[in-house]
Every structure is written in C-alpha cells, then in structure tokens.
Structure 1
Amino acid sequence: MNTVEKEFLAIVSQYQPMLYKIVRLYRDSVEDREDLFQEIVFQLWKSYPNFRGEAQIKTWMYRIALNTALASFRKNSAKINYLSQLPDLAEEIISDEQVLREEQLFAVLNLLEDGEKALIALYFDELSYQQMAEILGINENYVGVKLNRIKTKIKNLLKK
C-alpha cells in the first residue's frame, strides 16, 4: 500500500462515524447502508487526487458524501463499485434504552426531506453555520432559520 492510500484510509477511518451518520439518514436496510457507504468511499477515493485543501477535509467529505447519498437515492438502479479494502468497523457497547432512543430519532429523521436530513446531519456533527452554508451552498443566515424549523418539526414528530 502506497503513502496516498494509507493517508486516504486514515482520513476515512477518522471520519467514519460522520459517514455512517449520513448513510443511516439516507438508507433503511443494513445492506443498503453498506452499499451506500462503499459508494461514498469510492467517490471520495476518485475525488481525493483533486482535493486541493481549499476547504477543510471534513467539509469536502461532507459535500461528496451528501451528494453521493442524494444522487444514488434518486437512481433507479444503483451501480456499486466495491473497494478491495475497507476499514474495520468499531462496535460501541450501548444500552438497550440508548438503542431505542436512537431508533426513534432515526425513524423521525427519515420523515424529513432530503435537504433537511443533510442540514441536521451537519448540525449533529457540530459544524459551524458557516461550514454548513459552504457545504450546502446556502446563505449562513438561512442555515439558522432552516435549523430552527427542522428542530421544531423533529420535536413535534417525536411528541406523536
């Protein structure tokens, strides 16, 4: 494995939780999540030589991951290109109550529109409004307005 491959796998490993969050928001079944994750990693790998460092690596990865999730979501038949190697998944030990709350939250998040899912994923990863605006290509003030609307919508859906 050459230096570029090692560097890329280290970056993917570092930001793997962020990628899984996106995958979880846009796919319901485990198999579809795995397929989307592999497609995102493939798209990141294809784009990696063109990354110039003008944006933060996390911002760049988010943009590609969200675009891939949205594009593949709209395709009738997805063509998945598999990498020969994927980072090992780290399993966390969590309580049944935490699992139930997470399942409830993701059930509600699945009811959101695609753009709302993208914005809330960025919010969950604690990106600044400026970073969110850059990734989504919208105005920074609109990020705040839209986030407040999404939070209210989520609260109302969780009450039901």
Structure 2
Amino acid sequence: MENVEQEFLSVIREYERVIYKVCYLYTTPNATLNDLYQDVVLNLWRAYPKFRRECKVSTWIYRIALNTCISFIRKEKNIPEIVTLSQDSDRMEELDETQTMLKQLYRMINRLGQLEKSIILLYLEEKSYEEIAEITGLTVTNIATKISRIKDKLRKMNKEE
C-alpha cells in the first residue's frame, strides 16, 4: 500500500501545475482554488486504484480534474454567493504586462461555456487534437471546429474590452 501512495504522490507532484491550471479556470468566489485543488486530488486518489493505464496519465488527470471542477460548479449554483470583505489588491503585487494579458485571457476564457473552457485549456496546454478528443470524448474534427470557433469568440471578446 505504501508503494501505491508513493507512486500516487509522485504523479501528483509531476502534474501539480496542470491540476492548478484546471482549477484556476473554475475558481469562483465560493469555490476557492485550494478547495477545488483538494477535491481534484481527493478524486484522483479515489480513482487511482482503478486507473488501468489505457490512456496517458495526463489524459486521466485532465479528465478527472475537469469533471471534478464542473461538478463543483454545478453544485455551487445552489449556494448563495459569499461576498468577501478583504480586497484582492491587498494581496496582489504589481503585475507586469504579460501577467496582465494572461489575467485578461483567463477572464475571457471564464466567460466561455464549460466545454469550450475545457477545450481551450487543453489547447493552451499544447495537447494535440487527438489528446483533446480522447479527454473530452469528442471527435478530432469536432475539436478542430470548436477550437477555431473558440478562438474567434476570444478575438471578438478582446475587441469588445
């Protein structure tokens, strides 16, 4: 059992940034980044013994992370919004131009639908269309079409801001 735990911890350490990126896109006032991250890791741990290695570890992690975050958001819709009293500016340091652009991109991505958000996240992670299709359960052709439409949507959003 200890061997399985060590193996799992090693996988989590290797894909920690990936998990955080997925969680970041689904963070809301009621669903903090750390809450989502913990839920994803817990679900990964529960599913780990059943992981048959029929797909890449990264594919398996993305699938569980996306499903966990989407489920969390669905449940959250029934919870009243919590208003925080502290301001984000207290915690934030000055952002350089690249960080500002990234924040703007993530803000626009957050306005997309759940599936679109998942697809563009995987695309930004430089996953191939085949890998994205495997993770989402869509066809490669469908992925290509959706990515093109998502890019158009993001361009349009960027012009509007």
Say whether the fold is shared (TM-score over 0.5).
yes
- Any gaps of 5 or more consecutive residues in structure 1? 79-93
Greater C-alpha Rg: 2
Aligned counterparts, 1:70-81, within 5 A: 70-76=70-76
Q: Deviations over 1:66-116 (max 9, x none)?
A: 1101111101479xxxxxxxxxxxxxxx96222211111111111101110
Q: Which residue of 2 aligns with 1:44?
A: 44
Deviations 1:102-139 (A, max 9, x none): 11111111110111000011101111111111111111
* Structure 2: runs of 5+ lacking an equivalent: 80-93
Which residue identity does 2:59 align to in structure 1? T
TM-score, structure 1 length as denominator? 0.84
Deviating beyond 3 angstroms after TM superposition, the runs of 4 or more aligned structure 1 residues are: 28-31
CA apart distance, 1:28? 3.2
Cα displacement string for residues 27-82 of structure 1 (whole angstroms, at most 9, x for unaligned residues): 1349611100000000000000000110110001111111101111101479xxxx
The DSSP-based 3-state class of the residue aligned with 1:107 is helix
Identical residues among aligned pairs (%): 39
- Supply the distance in 1 between the matched residues of 2:4 and 2:40 (Cα, whole angstroms): 18
SS at match of 1:15: helix
Pairwise CA RMSD of aligned residues?
2.0
TM-score (norm 2): 0.84
Could you say which residue in structure 1 is the equivalent of 2:139? Answer: 139
Q: How many residues align?
A: 145
Cα distance in 2, alignment partners of residues 63 and 31 from structure 1: 19
For 2:16, give the aligned amino acid.
Answer: Q
